[in-house]
Structure 1
Amino acid sequence: MSNPIEKYDALRNTNEFVFLVFYRGAWCPFCQAYLKTLESIRPSITSAGGAVLAVTAEPASELPKMRTASGYDGETLVDTEHLLARELKRRGLIDVAISERKGYAEGMVQPGVLIGGNRVGVVYSWAIRPATMNLGGAKDRPLLNEVWDNAQAKMAGKPPAHTKLGSLSLVSGLLQMIRG
């Protein structure tokens, strides 16, 4: 299935929910750290009935680099035309920013996280707005393990585990990549 919208909808229809992460590219150490965390929580997500999906606008030739750098071995969609991002915005689920960047024919997707599905509705939706303070969209992302803790609590009808989510900062992102 090559259509990103059809792929996403198929995952929504066959799983309790989809844990979707948009990332910039293999060259981004913050994205590497993010996908490393996503890989560490992937077993918990799938055991809860969810599907994990990473989406990038980076050319498919870069996927092996990202897999090696992050250890992420889950499903990845290459959507160079931003079909899925535009459709999810049209549906009112998430508004992912697209920025100009050399090597991206129609722009680079900025980080975003969407957790939801046909059975559970929208559990969590977040997208960064690139600014000087967050290094053009690189840092200040919510910590995925905490996002997942809160999503599990919400789906179980419980209060959030974290009242304020931590964020991936410059120091924490680099430390996570150094530690492996």
Structure 2
Amino acid sequence: GDWCPFCKAFITRFEKIAEEIRDQGGYIAAISAQKESTATKTKKNWKVNFDVLSDRSTEFSRYLNEKKIFNPTLAITKTKLDPHTWMYEAGYIQPALLFTTKDDILYQWAIQPSVMNLGGASDRPVPEEVWESAKAKLNGEER
């Protein structure tokens, strides 16, 4: 969410590779369970050159889980212990990445919040390495 400094640091690093992703025919977007107006403000305030979309109901995230597209599943947090939960009607989506073609998953990653990763704040992959891995698979190379 827009309140999370760890999310901001992670998402804004994709700024460096967004143009190359588009040049390869890809589409890049960040998806948040916050309101659409907040997602729009986040894009502007974080100065990213890709879409920041709203999945307020977490419907898209739940669809990905139901179709077993992610392994492990996307974590959707809704607990009274988290001070930010009040902003999210249906819980909030923990960080995840998905690179696909029409026919194949090139790269997937989803954080499973724990004490060891500070509730999902740390242990996130490096965007440039993720993109290199996705490109390698796209080109038929194993990494």
TM-score tier after normalising by the smaller chain length = 0.7 to 0.9
The answer to whether the Cα contact below 8 Å between 1:30 and 1:138 also exists between their aligned partners in 2 is: yes
1:123 corresponds to 2:99 = no
1:111 aligned residue (95, 104, 112): 95
The answer to whether the Cα contact below 8 Å between 1:115 and 1:123 also exists between their aligned partners in 2 is: yes
Identity over aligned residues, as a percent? 36
TM-score (norm 1): 0.70
Question: Shift of the alpha carbon at 1:117?
Answer: 2.2
1:49 corresponds to 2:25 = yes
Question: Shift of the alpha carbon at 1:63?
Answer: 2.5
Question: Shift of the alpha carbon at 1:157?
Answer: 1.6
The answer to whether the Cα contact below 8 Å between 1:123 and 1:151 also exists between their aligned partners in 2 is: yes
Residue type at the aligned position of 1:126: W
The residue number in structure 2 matching 1:96 is 74
The structure in which a higher percent of residues are strand is 1
Unaligned runs of 5+ in 1: 1-24, 161-180
1:132 corresponds to 2:108 = no
The answer to whether the Cα contact below 8 Å between 1:112 and 1:126 also exists between their aligned partners in 2 is: yes
SS at match of 2:68: coil
The residue number in structure 2 matching 1:147 is 130
The answer to whether the Cα contact below 8 Å between 1:53 and 1:77 also exists between their aligned partners in 2 is: yes
Question: Shift of the alpha carbon at 1:132?
Answer: 1.3
Residue-by-residue CA offset, 1:72-123 (whole Å, 9 max, x unaligned): 131222011111111111222112101121211111110000111214x011
SS at match of 2:14: helix
CA–CA distance in 2 between the matches of 1:49 and 1:73? 16
TM-score (norm 2): 0.87
Higher relative contact order (CA 8 A, sep 6+): 1
RMSD over aligned CA atoms reads 1.4
The answer to whether the Cα contact below 8 Å between 2:40 and 2:53 also exists between their aligned partners in 1 is: no
1:84 aligned residue (44, 51, 60): 60
SS at match of 1:142: coil
Question: Shift of the alpha carbon at 1:131?
Answer: 0.7
Unaligned runs of 5+ in 2: 79-84
CA–CA distance in 1 between the matches of 2:114 and 2:28? 28
The answer to whether the Cα contact below 8 Å between 1:55 and 1:79 also exists between their aligned partners in 2 is: yes
Residue type at the aligned position of 1:113: L
Tell me the matched-pair count. Answer: 135
1:75 corresponds to 2:62 = no
The residue number in structure 2 matching 1:27 is 3
Question: Shift of the alpha carbon at 1:136?
Answer: 1.0
